[in-house]
């Protein structure tokens, strides 16, 4: 590489970094549009983005959306209280957790055809995670306090981890550790992805009922959102030390970390999202309270354009029952 080209690339990289910092500091999120998905009724849960597709959990089905066109590509229906989706692109398989009958539905990522159904031990299969480091799928049973580990090549259960309490969302550092919120014990569990043993338990006290969990792998920071105390806890993933605690809205369920913009965004079921700016590993400030829609408590984001997606339905007069035919995805964009 010639000297001039090297200098040009360094200058370009520096400009990109400065642009991202300015983007995060000066821009705000606004509602952009709604993607209507009128088929199916009932509760909604996790979303997942993989290979240009958005997977949306919705009661008895998964909606698959093309992120370029924002049109539905297909559905996987006949599910039993669906919670989460874990695509495994290398095997062209996806794994869906069904909380009602504690089964895992295996499907083809291209045709959306159901390939297999795995019955697992436990109650209320909830969060599900594919860990690239160990090449295993982890399923967290919120109702029975354990995690089941599946080999995605064979669709066989290869392990069980007793945790107690109520396991919620999980993340991987892709270096051998799985971190999982426990909403009953108010702890973050660290699991060794190879030995399937619990390595550490980190207390979130005085914060209570942790649900969503995200991670800044580069800075080794965990972001745990706690529903009862309406807080987001920033924790050192090595020591378990709480380095910051920030106020968020009520009814939180999900949280995402946008590394490029250095933003953490929590989705609060009361009808807002708390957008937090990261200055460095240990310093954070609330930058925006984004008005959303009541009940939109799960969140995912597109790291290419920074759009965030929240799902939900309108409600009937009682304020609790989803109105038929109103389900959809609200898209919020940076302006």
Please indicate whether residue 43 or residue 168 has the higher confidence score (pLDDT).
168
Residues 159-207: tens digit of each pLDDT: 999 999 999 999 999 999 999 999 999 999 999 999 999 999 999 999 9
Backbone angles phi, psi at 46, to 5 degrees: -60, 155
pLDDT reported for residue 25: 52
How confident is the model over 35-46, as a mean pLDDT? 89
CA distance 110 to 130: 18
Q: Which residue has the tokens 């550790």?
A: 177
CA distance 59 to 77: 9
Does residue 95 contact residue 113 with C-beta atoms inside 8 Å?
no
pLDDT exceeds cutoff 90 at 7: no
Does residue 146 contact residue 157 with C-beta atoms inside 8 Å?
no
335 — pLDDT class (breaks 50, 70, 90) = confident
Does residue 37 contact residue 57 with C-beta atoms inside 8 Å?
no
Does residue 124 contact residue 102 with C-beta atoms inside 8 Å?
yes
pLDDT exceeds cutoff 70 at 285: yes
Does residue 85 contact residue 94 with C-beta atoms inside 8 Å?
yes
23 — pLDDT class (breaks 50, 70, 90) = very low
Backbone angles phi, psi at 20, to 5 degrees: -65, -40
Domains of the chain by range and CATH?
79-171+183-203 (2.130.10.10)
How confident is the model over 55-73, as a mean pLDDT? 96
27 — pLDDT class (breaks 50, 70, 90) = low
Tokens at 256, concatenated: 């995402």
């Amino acid at each position: 590489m010639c000297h001039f080209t090297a200098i040009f690339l360094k200058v370009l990289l520096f400009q990109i970094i400065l642009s991202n910092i300015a983007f995060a500091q000066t821009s705000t999120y606004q509602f952009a549009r709604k993607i209507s998905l009128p088929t199916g009724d009932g509760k909604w849960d996790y979303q997942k983005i993989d290979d240009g597709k958005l997977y949306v959990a919705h009661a008895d089905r998964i909606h698959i959306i093309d992120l370029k066109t924002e049109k539905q590509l297909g559905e996987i229906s006949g599910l039993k209280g669906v919670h989460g989706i874990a695509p495994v692109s290398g095997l062209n398989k996806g794994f869906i957790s069904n909380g009602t009958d504690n089964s895992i539905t295996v499907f083809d990522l291209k045709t959306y055809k159901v390939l297999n159904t795995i019955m697992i031990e436990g109650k209320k299969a909830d969060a599900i995670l594919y860990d690239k480091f160990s090449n295993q799928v982890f399923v967290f049973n919120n109702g029975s306090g354990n995690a089941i580990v599946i080999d995605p090549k064979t669709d066989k259960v290869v392990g069980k981890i007793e945790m107690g309490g109520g396991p919620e969302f999980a993340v991987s550092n892709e270096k051998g550790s799985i971190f999982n919120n426990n909403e009953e014990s108010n702890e973050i569990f660290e699991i060794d992805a190879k030995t399937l043993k619990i390595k550490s338990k980190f207390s979130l006290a005085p914060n209570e009922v942790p649900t969503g969990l995200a991670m800044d792998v580069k800075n080794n920071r965990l972001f745990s959102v706690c529903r009862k105390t309406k807080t987001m806890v920033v924790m050192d993933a090595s020591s378990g030390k709480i380095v910051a605690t920030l106020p968020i809205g009520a009814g939180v369920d999900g949280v995402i970390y946008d590394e490029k913009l250095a933003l953490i965004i929590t989705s609060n079921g009361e009808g807002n999202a708390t957008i937090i700016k990261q200055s460095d590993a240990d310093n954070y400030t609330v930058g925006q309270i984004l008005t959303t829609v009541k009940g939109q408590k799960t969140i995912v984001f597109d790291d290419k354009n920074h759009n965030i997606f929240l799902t939900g339905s309108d409600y009937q007069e009682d304020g609790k029952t989803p109105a038929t035919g109103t389900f959809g995805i609200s898209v919020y964009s940076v302006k």
